[in-house]
Amino acid sequence: ADPRTVYQALFQQAFAEVMARLEDSFQVFRSVVYLTPLAVLTSPEHSRAVLERLAGFCGPTSSPPIRKFAQALGVHLVLRCATLLREASDSASSQEVRSFMSKAFQLLAKSQIQGTANTKVLSYMVIVSSLSLWRQLFLCPLIDPRCLLFAPEEKGLSKPLQWLTSLIADQELYKKFYVALERAELAITGQDKDSFVIKKAKQIRDDSEYRAHVVRASAASTFLLALRRMIL
């Protein structure tokens, strides 16, 4: 038997103290999430704390690598929830799991909206890796995209759809990448903006346009995949 199931009651009792001692270590938080039974993570006593921690690591104040891995952790949680719902869809805790899964995906989308809007934290790596993870979710037969895109707890616009469509429609996306790349170049070289040579400026402009094209195409394919899964 899975030790996480055998000792679930112990996990339930100790989880609050473990979360209180995490401080700001994403690596420790990720290990705790992997080791803790899903029933504990999604329980009313602990689900809010888990989601708040995840939102913090996904947020713009975290470094791009941490945001990337936090997005992957969120997708991992969604897949765990979907697997459990397939095996025990009529259990007493199924509604808690379904709600947790929806909220987790919504916070992933919200953090992406925040990160994309601010050129100071805009990260090509985070966007592209997250779009790839989203496609994996939408391709998974256990996942109904409607449950993720249209959360019952959320009112108004769907945050995931808002992010995808904003990437597709943003004609100024290459300018955002240009500003982000320029800022990174200045930070690495220690130069000021006036020291840029024409060749370097052209390289940054070309890279920005390439990244904008890749992101826009990836967002469009992910959006169409979600629509296809909802229709078929």
Choice between 130 and 5, residue whose per-residue pLDDT is larger: 130
Please name the residue that has the structure tokens 């708040």: 52
- φ, ψ (nearest 5 deg) of residue 74: -60, -40
Please name the residue that has the structure tokens 């459990």: 84
Q: Looking at residue 186, what is its pLDDT?
A: 78
Give the single-character DSSP code of 89: T
Q: Residue 23: what residue type?
A: E
Give the C-alpha separation, 12 to 153, whole Å. Answer: 25
Give the single-character DSSP code of 36: S
Instruction: With a cut of 80, say whether residue 65 has pLDDT above it.
Output: yes
Q: What is the mean pLDDT of residues 23-44?
A: 92
Mean pLDDT, rounded, of the chain: 89
Does this model's pTM top 0.75? My answer is yes
* Lowest mean pLDDT, pick from 13-27, 33-47, 130-144, 194-208: 194-208
**114: its two tokens:** 């925040």
CA dihedral sign, ordered 6, 10, 13, 14:
negative
Q: Is residue 167 a contact partner of residue 130, using CB atoms and an 8 Å limit?
A: no
What pLDDT band is residue 89 in, cutting at 50, 70 and 90? low
Choice between 71 and 186, residue whose per-residue pLDDT is larger: 71
Q: Looking at residue 152, what is its pLDDT?
A: 76
Query: Nearest 5 degrees, angle CA 131-CA 134-CA 136?
Result: 115
Q: What is the mean pLDDT of residues 12-21?
A: 85
Instruction: With a cut of 80, say whether residue 212 has pLDDT above it.
Output: yes
- Beta-carbon contacts of residue 62 (< 8 Å; ≥ 6 apart): 26, 56, 70
What confidence tens digit (pLDDT) does each residue in 119-172 have? 999 999 999 999 999 999 999 999 999 999 998 776 778 999 999 999 999 999
Angle (deg, nearest 10), helices 47-58 and 26-35 = 140
Instruction: With a cut of 80, say whether residue 191 has pLDDT above it.
Output: no
Give the C-alpha separation, 147 to 106, whole Å. Answer: 10
Rg of the Cα atoms in the chain: 20
